[in-house]
Amino acid sequence: MDTSEKSAIKGKHIAITGSLLFYKRQEAFELIRGLGGIPQENVTRETDYLVVGHYRKNTIIGDKSNKRILAERYIGQGCGIKIIREDQFLQMLWFAPAEAASN
């Protein structure tokens, strides 16, 4: 079975903000590519998911990164960006969706 065919990530544009605990950013991007997704350095109107990691104090405005602020602005304009935590992202990487698992 080709894992990219069963992936919740396949065909999705995914950006990351902050630092991840389990992967370095480039490792996460390689995993996204391997599952048929499109890693993004920046948030755009095409972004499907923004993964929120941990921030250093000097990289945020208030309690949000620039990428999160931009994603929220796009969401307000009707874009379908989903802002998710690292644990939700890891579930997407590590587990097949329920409908795929039953096939």
**pLDDT tens, 16-40?**
999 999 999 999 999 999 999 999 9
Q: DSSP letter for 54, please.
A: B
Residue span of the structural domain in which 51 resides: 3-97
The verdict on residue 87 lying in a domain is yes
C-alpha triplet 33, 75, 90: angle, nearest 5°: 35
* More confident position, 57 or 47: 47
* pTM (global) more than 0.85: no
Residue 70 covered by a domain: yes
Share of the chain above pLDDT 90, in %: 69
The number of distinct structural domains making up the chain is: 1
Any domain includes 103: no
CA angle, residues 41, 55, 34, in degrees to nearest 5: 40
Domain-located, residue 102: no
Task: Give the chain's mean pLDDT.
Answer: 85
* Residue 82 placed within a domain: yes
Q: What is the CATH number of the domain that holds 7?
A: 3.40.50.10190
